[in-house]
Amino acid sequence: MLPPPTSEDLAIIFGFAEGKSPYVPKPRLLKDETERMDCIANCIAYYKEIGRGNEREITYAKFCARYLPAVMDRFLDAPILGLSGPFQPELYELVNTSLFIMLVTYHIPYFTKYIRSQKPVAARGKVFTQVLAERIARFGAFMDLRKELNPPDVEDEIEVFTDLLVEALVLFSIFVKFFAKYQEPIKTETRNDLSRYLIKWRQRGWDTSLQRESNRVFADLQGMSKELADYVEAGRKQLKARDKCAYPGCEIRDNLRACVKCSIVAYCSTAHQKAHWDAKDPDIPAHKPTCFETEY
Ligand SMILES: [Zn+2]
Ligand SMILES: [Zn+2]
């Protein structure tokens, strides 16, 4: 059985680092985006199936602290095309290794730090939601075209595409809600374009998760209800993780001082910072293993 994937394994799969990884059985195949996606999917599946929450959070935190700007850049510059399969650029520009990793790491506090960062290294992240919206709409046009062309096995193809589209909509919804404050607003033209497809997708009953996600995103784009806005505000605070003392159970919110190394957490006192740093209580995940310096 494979060992738990580390942030180094992820970096090697992305091509950000060199070396050997048990999750890359044939390194020469990594020229192909579909191969990369398989390798990343195996890492993600490991933690989904086997659990190990704490180890997973450490792996993802370390990877995000170091490589988040590179992951974002890789998404924004259309990724390397797959060499195998019938797939098209419209697919890979949306569904790729970057999207996969973002879906499992957006809750890591480094993500919020990156999105809020004003440093040049994080500048490109400001347009992520807009670009994602454009690509989802282009993907909609692409799916329509495939149906029109009606190649053999188009139904199977559409089923695969639909699953991928649902994943992209999940991420989009999260960014629209939680990160809207820190990102460029979506252009009206893109909003209208995307809404057209969302209306179509939620009316077609072929897939309940597509219906559900289309409804959700459509509501996000229309503006928020009071309940949703409250929920988003709570979620945003949680993602920021700096408005309350990070020591589990401490509710103090005033006069906090951020951890100088990572600045993703803050404390009410030196006593709580020290107690959290290498906490031994299994119910209190220590801060030390997830504390990293970042460029952003
Ligand atoms: Zn405290
Ligand atoms: Zn720290």
Say if 95 falls within a structural domain: no
Stronger pLDDT, 104 or 241, i.e. the higher one: 104
Residue 180 placed within a domain? yes
The predicted-structure confidence for 36-52, as pLDDT tens digits, reads as follows 999 999 999 999 888 77
Give residue 86's pLDDT band: very low, low, confident or very high (50, 70, 90).
low
CA–CA gap between residue 92 and residue 74 (Å, rounded) = 11
Residues 227 and 251 in one domain: no
Same domain? 73 vs 141: no
CA of 113 to the centre of ligand 1 (A): 21
Q: How far is the CA of 259 from the centre of ligand 1 (A)?
A: 13
Q: Which residue has the higher pLDDT, 261 or 163?
A: 261
Specify whether 112 is located in the same domain as 228: yes
Q: Can you tell me the mean pLDDT for 272-288?
A: 92
Query: Does some domain include residue 92?
Result: no
Three-class secondary structure of residue 257 per DSSP? strand
> Is residue 230 situated within a structural domain?
yes
Kindly state whether residues 223 and 190 are assigned to the same domain: yes
Counted domains in the chain: 3
User: What is the residue range of 262's domain?
Assistant: 242-296
User: Is position 225 within any domain?
Assistant: yes
Average pLDDT over residues 241-255: 90
Judgement on whether residues 113 and 69 belong to the same structural domain of the protein: no
In a domain, 90, yes or no: no
Name the closest ligand to CA 269.
1
Q: Which ligand is closest in space to the CA of residue 248?
A: 1
Q: Are residues 293 and 234 in the same domain?
A: no
CA 45 to ligand 1 centroid distance, Å: 35
DSSP, res 129: H
Residue 190 C-alpha to ligand 2 middle, in angstroms?
39
CA of 276 to the centre of ligand 2 (A): 10
Pairwise CA distance, residues 151 & 137, whole Å:
22
Q: Classify residue 147 as left (phi > 0), alpha (psi -120 to 50) or beta.
A: alpha
For residues 105-118, average pLDDT: 93
**CA 230, 235, 241, 247 torsion: positive or negative?**
positive
Whether 32 maps to a domain, the answer reads: yes
The pLDDT of residue 82: 57
